[in-house]
Amino acid sequence: MQLADVIDSRIRSGEYPPDRMIPASLRLSEEYGIAHMTVRRAMRELRERGLIYTVSGKGSYVVPKPPTSTPEPDTAESDESTD
C-alpha cells in the first residue's frame, strides 16, 4: 500500500480529523522507512485528491471537509457505444 493511500485511509477513518496537521515529512519518512521525496510525492497526491492543504513553513493539514470518495479516473473512452 502506498503512503498516500495509508494517509487517505486515516483521514477517512477520522484518525486524522479535519483541520489537523498531518505528521511532518521527516517523521513519515522515518516511520515508514521511505525517502523524503517519496513522502513529498504522497503529499502532492493527497493535495490532488482534495484531502489536504499545505501552508508554507507550517505543514500539511486535513481539509475542513474531506471529499466522501476518491475521484474516479477519466473514463471518457469507456463511453463509446457498442453495436
CATH numbers and ranges of domains, the chain: 3-65 (1.10.10.10)
Query: Which grid cell is 61?
Result: 493539514
For the stretch 36-46, pLDDT in tens is 999 999 999 99
Rounded to two decimals, the pTM is 0.75
14: amino acid identity, one letter: G
CB 71 within 8 A of CB 25: no
Query: Which grid cell is 66?
Result: 474531506
For the stretch 24-40, pLDDT in tens is 999 999 999 999 999 99
Q: Which of 17, 9, 19 is nearest to 59 (CA)?
A: 19
